[in-house]
Amino acid sequence: MSIVWVANYAGHPYDQAEKFGELRYLTRGYVSLGNLDRLVYYVAEKVADTKAEDYLLLSGLCVVGVIASVAWVTMWGGVKILHWDKKNSDYVPLEFTRGQLEKMFDVFLIQEAEDKWKAQNE
């Protein structure tokens, strides 16, 4: 069975995410950004306990979700994110693979280069 890893337990009700798996928490409460290296190590250590089929539920401080996502993609080649859909009042699974992200960045870099070339040659 999959596990739903909540990026940061921030006191919100997460029970609707339990249909995707057992809830566990990467961090709880206040997260200090005073020592980013320590936070990266702590989150990466928790992500090391995940499996490829697990989910990451984004909650709390954005930087925790970013660190966890990067670690997840590095470890598993992708990340399955649970995003809260306010309109439908439910969690929606989103999946990103390393290949999708690489393609997205390739397209962005090509577009950026074309825009710079056009600006220089106008």
- pTM attached to this predicted model: 0.80
Q: How far is CA 120 from the centre of its chain?
A: 37
29 pLDDT higher than 90: no
Mean pLDDT of 46-51: 89
37 pLDDT higher than 80: no
The answer to whether the CB of 4 falls within 8 A of the CB of 55 is yes
The DSSP letter of residue 8 is -
The answer to whether the CB of 81 falls within 8 A of the CB of 93 is yes
Buried residues in 1-38 as b, exposed as e (16+ CB within 10 A): eebbbbbbbbeeebeebeebbebebbbeeebeeeeeee
pLDDT 10s digits, 60-109: 888 888 889 999 999 999 999 999 999 999 999 999 888 888 887 777 77
